Structure 1
């Protein structure tokens, strides 16, 4: 058991996967949905006030008269999707959390909203010139591996009509400033974010080359069952994100500090990219 534990706490290889599903874990997904829906928490989505400002800005830079059909990747319970629908856009939302998609679908039916929600991994989507705009918000792009990012950019490019735009945000190195490799452990009586049952949690933060970071949580329940959750993050500069986007055929339009359209500045912890096909 001790040897196994040491193995679990060693620094993983770059972009090693979790041992179980994060988004569809029965207990965790419940807490994630609660975090999405809380108006001020930013554990799963931006605050609802930020989202309102973000949708105002999106509607301004991609007006309905030109950009009618919209794809929201990682839509969660529909926080952006519903707001954009109310602005008049034809909306499709994709998410890999079954609980979030079920909630979004139920709310759309309840409110008589014609929103197309799809439960799937957006890395597996296959559209061909169906949308004028694609959205990926809350730095989801920055959690993907190099191979996944390249694949996603190509899929987004294929999904857009000529002249369509891709709006997404990423972290910069400022997000991780002062954060070094560290390890802590906790004993929980249960009913916390991670697990209903009593458990031990080993929490680690690892640093890799290329401004890549890993938050790892190793959980051991009372039966000795081990679950490993790995959340990867990458920091970008204007130059590195422009290079990635242009390699996929996009033209660069503008870069902002965040998804409300604030101007970039030296200490921005995020960047928001508007790329045109």
Structure 2
């Protein structure tokens, strides 16, 4: 066990995967859903007040009257999807958390919202010129590897109608300006985010070339079972994200500080992009 732990404390190769699909873990997915639904917590989703402002802004740049068919990638429990449906959009939401999708479907049925929810990895979408608007919100784009980002951009481009818009956001280097490589550990007594019982967590933050960061969590339960959870992120400058989207064919790329349409500021920790096919 000690040798195994020593191995896990080594800095992994860039984009090394987690040991399992933690987003569908029975306990973690429950905690993630709670985080999504917390109205003020900036964790799995942004605060609900911000999401409200975001949807109001989206309606101004892509009105439901002309950009009515929406694909919400990484839709989670449907917080954006419901608000967009209420505004008159026809929404398809895709997420690979089974618990979140089941919750979203249940809520849509209760409220009478005609939203299509699909339990699927959005890297596996295969649409052809269907959607007026595609959303990828809360910096999901940066967690993907170089290869997966290329796949996603091409599939997103193919899924959009000519003149359709793609709205996404990413973290900037300012988000990590004061964060250095580090490692620490803690013992959590009782149920926590990662486990329903007492567990040990070895956590580390690693820095790689090309603006890539990693938050790693090595979780050991009382039966000595080890799970390794890796949350990657690539942060972007304005020039980097414009170049990456432009190489796929996106045009008329507009830059904002966040997904509420705040004017772009070089000190911002996020960048929001509106790109056209």
- TM category, shorter: over 0.9
Which digits, 9 at most, give the CA deviation of each residue in 1:55-77, with x for residues without a partner? Answer: 00000011122101100000001
Does the aligned pair in 2 maintain the 1:246–1:252 contact within 8 Å? no
* TM-score of the aligned structures, taking structure 2 as reference length: 0.99
Does the aligned pair in 1 maintain the 2:242–2:253 contact within 8 Å? no
What does 1:41-56 align with in structure 2 at a 5 Å threshold?
41-56=41-56
State the shift of 1:94 in Å.
0.4
1:135 alignment partner in structure 2:
135
SS at match of 1:101: helix
Is 1:255 aligned to 2:255, yes or no? yes
Aligned length: 277
What does 1:163-174 align with in structure 2 at a 5 Å threshold?
163-174=163-174
Does the aligned pair in 2 maintain the 1:187–1:201 contact within 8 Å? yes
1:104 alignment partner in structure 2:
104
What does 1:19-168 align with in structure 2 at a 5 Å threshold?
19-168=19-168
5+ residue gaps, structure 2: none
Which digits, 9 at most, give the CA deviation of each residue in 1:166-223, with x for residues without a partner? Answer: 0000000000011011111111123111101221110000000111100000011111
Q: Deviating runs (4+, > 3 A) in structure 1?
A: none
CA distance in 2, matches of 1:251, 1:106: 38
CA distance in 2, matches of 1:102, 1:53: 26
SS at match of 1:102: helix
CA distance in 2, matches of 1:222, 1:35: 25
CA distance in 1, matches of 2:73, 2:119: 11
State the shift of 1:108 in Å.
0.5
State the shift of 1:130 in Å.
0.8
Which digits, 9 at most, give the CA deviation of each residue in 1:93-124, with x for residues without a partner? Answer: 00011000000000111111110000000011
Does the aligned pair in 2 maintain the 1:134–1:165 contact within 8 Å? yes
SS at match of 1:152: helix
1:189 alignment partner in structure 2:
189
CA distance in 2, matches of 1:190, 1:214: 27
CA distance in 2, matches of 1:275, 1:233: 21
CA distance in 2, matches of 1:243, 1:266: 17
State the shift of 1:252 in Å.
3.2
What does 1:230-241 align with in structure 2 at a 5 Å threshold?
230-241=230-241
CA distance in 2, matches of 1:237, 1:57: 23
CA distance in 1, matches of 2:180, 2:15: 18
CA-atom RMSD in angstroms: 0.7
Does the aligned pair in 1 maintain the 2:133–2:166 contact within 8 Å? yes
Does the aligned pair in 2 maintain the 1:213–1:232 contact within 8 Å? yes
Q: Which moved more, 1:244-253 or 1:51-60?
A: 244-253
SS at match of 2:24: coil
CA distance in 2, matches of 1:35, 1:188: 19
2:223 alignment partner in structure 1:
223
CA distance in 2, matches of 1:162, 1:75: 23
2:175 alignment partner in structure 1:
175
State the shift of 1:253 in Å.
2.7
SS at match of 2:255: strand
